[in-house]
Amino acid sequence: MSKKEPKSLSPLLRCQAGPVDVTGFDPGATPGYPKDKQKEDGDDLRSDVEPLLDDLQERLFAAGIDDSNAPRVLLVLQGLDTAGKGGTIRHVIGMMDPQGVHIHSFKRPTDEELAHDFLWRVERELPRPGQVGIFDRSHYEDVLVQRVDSLAPADEIERRYGAINEFETRLVESGTRVVKCFLNISRAEQKQRLTERLENPEKYYKYNPGDVDVASKWDAYMDAYSVALTRCNSEVAPWHVVPADKKWYRNWAITHLLIEALGDLDLGWPPAEFDLDAELARVQALPEG
């Protein structure tokens, strides 16, 4: 990391306590990005931070090998279609050792999932000790699409905000660092990205006619996000609003939020749980051919 980079990005992006209005944030902003730096591209990001991210992630992974109480990190990615959840995973999580990563993409709930409480399917996908978990969508869908489309009764939606806060508090207390990011794109940028998916045959697979139905409910989604970010912006698991119109900024910002979360764990390397000299002697006694 360049010395000019911010000491801590998280405070610049996290929501203040009190009512949150997601429409009040600029999707094109670049808070914390060093003014003297050129526009970042993927390769720059990689060469700048990959060794650091790699080192921090390996310490976490190492901590989890023999210790079921080792910490975990959970990155929650939320945002409307085209906001860049997939691109973040590809470019940011793609810099990490895949052995230490657990990614889950939450789709429309199955019948089996609907037969359980909304957190049932989420519990099953939590990162294990030493892992970085990534939720591509999450339990927040249960207070977003379910609220906008009235897929659950109003009192059930209401109950969920509290249930989410209790759930996340329990996660944090049991050693999981929770990093919640709302990828904030503008309507104009979303329209542009949807158009690109229709203009390039290699991107047709990313296009879903239902995305336009969702896009046309923009204001209802902004309201639902504002309520969710207001109600579930706890001290232990605060929300970050990540401006996402500029992909390079989004990748840079989420990489730094992860680096900060991993760095805060302040992990050393696990000590040898064996007699070093005795083991060296045993290894030296092995034949070579």
Residue 228: half-sphere exposure toward Cβ, Cα within 13 Å: 29
Q: Measured from the CB atom, is 30 or 190 closer to its own copies?
A: 190
Count CB neighbours of 17 within 10 A.
11
Q: Measured from the CB atom, is 116 or 282 closer to its own copies?
A: 282
Strand partners, 77: 136, 181
- Looking only at Cα atoms, what is the longest distance across the chain? 72
- The answer to the question of residue 51 lying near its own copies (CB under 8 A) is no
Q: Measured from the CB atom, is 141 or 189 closer to its own copies?
A: 189
Distance CA 253, CA 9 (A): 8
Candidates 90, 116, 128, 170: give the one binding its own copies (CB under 8 A).
90
Burial bucket for residue 270 (CB in 10 Å: 0-12, 13-18, 19+) = middle
Residue 132 tokens read as 């970085």
Candidates 103, 119, 172, 220: give the one binding its own copies (CB under 8 A).
103
Helix H segments across the chain?
Answer: 10-13, 42-65, 85-91, 111-114, 120-123, 145-148, 154-173, 187-199, 209-215, 218-231, 247-265, 276-284
- The answer to the question of residue 17 lying near its own copies (CB under 8 A) is no
3-state helix, strand, coil in the chain (%, to 5): 50, 10, 35
Burial bucket for residue 177 (CB in 10 Å: 0-12, 13-18, 19+) = buried
Judged by CB under 8 A, the stretch of 2-10, 150-158, 213-221, 251-259 that binds its own copies is 213-221
Candidates 36, 150, 209, 266: give the one binding its own copies (CB under 8 A).
209
- The answer to the question of residue 39 lying near its own copies (CB under 8 A) is no
- The answer to the question of residue 215 lying near its own copies (CB under 8 A) is yes
Candidates 8, 99, 123, 174: give the one binding its own copies (CB under 8 A).
99
Candidates 21, 123, 158, 279: give the one binding its own copies (CB under 8 A).
279
Residues 218-277 that bind its own copies (CB under 8 A): 218, 269-272, 274, 276
x/- site string to its own copies, residues 162 to 201, per CB under 8 A? Answer: ------------------------xxx-xx--xx--x--x
- The answer to the question of residue 204 lying near its own copies (CB under 8 A) is yes
Phi/psi of residue 195, nearest 5 degrees:
-60, -45
- Residues in contact with its own copies by the rule CB under 8 A: 62, 65-66, 86, 89-90, 93-94, 96-99, 101, 103, 105, 136, 186-188, 190-191, 194-195, 198, 201-202, 204-205, 207, 209, 212, 215-216, 218, 269-272, 274, 276, 279-280, 282-284, 286-289
